[in-house]
Amino acid sequence: MTPETKQQIAESFKDFRLPRYQEIPTVGLYLEQTTKYICEYLAPLQENALTGSMISNYVKKDLITNPVKKLYNRDQIAYLIFIAVAKTVLSLDSLTDFIKLQQRTYDLPKAYDYFCEELENRLQFTFELTDTARIVGEDNTDEKRLLHTCIVAAVQKAYLEKCLKAIADQNL
């Protein structure tokens, strides 16, 4: 892979930022709107991060609660953003366990905002936009280490896939 290609890949993450919990719309979003909202944010990380049928399946599997009057609320959207990233490295059963663990230990706004900050931090570091990864968060719990490991795995997988695709494209 050429240095220019590597730089192009890195540039796609330069301004990557997920909405923080308080920035997620408070008005409910319909399924199609929810899918579009999440996919637009995650586009640099993964194509087609979520589909309507995936969301419906997550509701059936109790990963998220049922929408109210077909509208997905802030909590459900936060969980769906996490699920869309974590599903690349975890099974549905592990995702269920992970969400239950989060619900027992941290409130959703705190857990979700930590997830966003750590994901952005790891993307910047892995794609060599920064020289060092920052330490995110105040405590050092098992739950935090598990989330950190999940994020690192998802970011490393994205890095590997982006690089392999770039190499394949160069060889065409």
pLDDT digits (tens, 9 = 90+) for 151-165: 999 999 999 999 898
Q: What is the mean pLDDT of the chain?
A: 91
User: 11 versus 74: which is more confidently predicted?
Assistant: 74
132 phi and psi angles, rounded to 5 deg: -135, 155
pLDDT given for residue 169 in this prediction: 82
Which tens digit of pLDDT belongs to each residue from 13-63?
A: 888 999 999 999 999 999 999 999 999 999 999 888 899 999 999 999 999
Which structural domain range is residue 10 located in?
3-170
Strand partners, 71: 68
* pLDDT reported for residue 129: 81
Does this model's pTM top 0.85? My answer is yes
Count: domains in the chain: 1
Query: 114: which residues sit within 8 A by CB, 6+ positions away?
Result: 106, 136, 137, 144, 147
- What is the percentage of the chain residues whose pLDDT exceeds 70? 99
Instruction: Give the per-residue pLDDT at 112.
Output: 95
Choice among 6-10, 12-16, 78-82, 114-118 with the minimum mean pLDDT: 6-10
For helices 142-170 and 108-126, angle between their N-to-C axes, nearest 10 degrees: 40
